[in-house]
Structure 1
Amino acid sequence: MDSPSNSVIWPVVHAERRALLHDLRSLPAEGWRVTSLCEGWDVHDVVAHLIDSAKTTRWGFVRRMALARFDFDEDNARGVSKEREENPAATLSAFGEILDFTRTPPAHLATRLVEAFVHGEDIRVPLGIVRDYPVEHVATALRYQLATSAKLGGGRELAQGFTLAATDTDLVHGSGPEVRGSALSLLLAVSGRVDTRNPLTGPGAASFGDQINR
């Protein structure tokens, strides 16, 4: 896919960080312990990960991966441990300090959109918080995930054998039994999440769901 420009992507990412900060300011203590959509992490963990990711530079990422023996899960766990404060209020304060950062690991810039939208929903869905994301940018993130192997965090393999049709934009991808849903629901699905609030429909939806849950 064509590389989106810094001038397009970063304002969206910064706006999503601000929106998430706003949504979490009044979150009670027990809310930070709620299990997120990201397997193995609670809400507090996801926020800590977002801080860690926002601070990570290209060269820093290479150094970190070497220390983690190129184990992505180990590197993520170390980052969460580093940025997660004992008091969630302190973690949220630290999150407020990285809102305008433009650092990024050595990856396609669209990964910043994927992170903002998917981790935003990792937090909001279990907390019952609703956000209206900019569909054109969600579609950009979805196209990136569909073009990227699971080994690199994408969802290309999950989507194989299905036609994915977004109901709120003109994005149609693949061939096979049709799976319909919003661009956001499809993005979550190819990122290994199930959007229980907006279930997918169409003749391929059940089989596609089984593939996600394997």
Structure 2
Amino acid sequence: MIHAERAALAEDLAALSDEQWRQQSLCGLWVVEEVVAHLTAAASIGTVRWVRSIVGARFDADRHNRRRLAEQRGRDPEETLQRFRAVITSTTAASGHTPAWLGEVVVHAQDIRRPLGIERTPALTAVGAVAAFYAGRDFAVASRSAIKGLRLEATDGSFQAGTGSLVRGSTLALIMAMAGRAPYCDDLVGDGVPILRERCSPAAT
């Protein structure tokens, strides 16, 4: 599923203009090209190197991410895309939490697509796996904390989680909101939506 989602994103990126590569993404202060370089970095660093990198950054995740992103960003968008294409079938990851790395691709792909108006929905099996993982624990994002006291129900699949005020919508919108992307709260309904929106971070990575 990770390979399929990377391939789908690479296909979407192929026709971007230089202006679109500079478009602000939903991921903090990063533009589209920086998000792509970040995804390449995530698929290029194993556990040992990741530990060395995070220790070298004094456990500052933002500094670690910026350094690895800079490594994988090309001289121009074309080179950045070539580097991303080279890792489409990579099985390298910083840990064995496969659903987390699937989430990394799914979420960051939407960080790119939504501002650009690109309509593509990831496979339901992929977003379902990410949703279950996000609801179960805080890992790369504080997803479980974000839905405390809320009842999430997917309208396009079997995903359900939590108890409390209701939040309903597509599985994709639910995972994007759990990942802190406030614009996706516009795609949700229920009395719990204002609570979830308030918990979304404007600088989510």
TM over 0.5: yes
For 1:128-180, what per-residue CA distance to the aligned partner results, in whole angstroms no more than 9, with x for missing partners?
00112111221110111112226x42411110011011111122111111000
Alpha carbons 1:21, 1:96 under 8 Å: kept: yes
Q: Distance in 2 between matches of 1:64 and 1:114?
A: 22
* Structure 1 residue 213: Cα displacement: 4.9
Q: Aligned runs of 1:126-165 on 2, under 5 Å?
A: 126-149=115-138, 152-165=140-153
2:198 is the alignment partner of 1:210: yes
Q: Distance in 1 between matches of 2:145 and 2:184?
A: 22
Q: Distance in 1 between matches of 2:46 and 2:99?
A: 16
3-state secondary structure, aligned to 1:153: coil
Q: Aligned runs of 1:150-189 on 2, under 5 Å?
A: 152-189=140-177
Unmatched tracts of structure 1, length 5 or more: 1-11
Alpha carbons 1:185, 1:195 under 8 Å: kept: no
Alpha carbons 1:146, 1:154 under 8 Å: kept: no
2:7 is the alignment partner of 1:18: yes
What's the TM-score, normalizing by structure 2? Answer: 0.93
Q: Distance in 2 between matches of 1:208 and 1:197?
A: 8
Alpha carbons 1:61, 1:106 under 8 Å: kept: no
Which residue of the partner structure matches residue 93 of structure 2? 104
Which residue of the partner structure matches residue 104 of structure 2? 115
What's the TM-score, normalizing by structure 1? Answer: 0.89
3-state secondary structure, aligned to 1:92: helix
Please give the root-mean-square deviation of Cα atoms over the aligned residues, in Å. Answer: 1.6
Unmatched tracts of structure 2, length 5 or more: none
1:65 is matched by which residue type in structure 2?
I
Alpha carbons 1:192, 1:212 under 8 Å: kept: yes
Q: Distance in 2 between matches of 1:126 and 1:132?
A: 14
Alpha carbons 1:162, 1:177 under 8 Å: kept: yes
Which residue of the partner structure matches residue 25 of structure 2? 36
Alpha carbons 2:177, 2:185 under 8 Å: kept: no
Alpha carbons 2:150, 2:163 under 8 Å: kept: yes
Number of residue pairs matched? Answer: 202
Alpha carbons 2:166, 2:190 under 8 Å: kept: yes
Q: Distance in 2 between matches of 1:197 and 1:90?
A: 34
1:47 corresponds, among 32, 36, 43, to 36
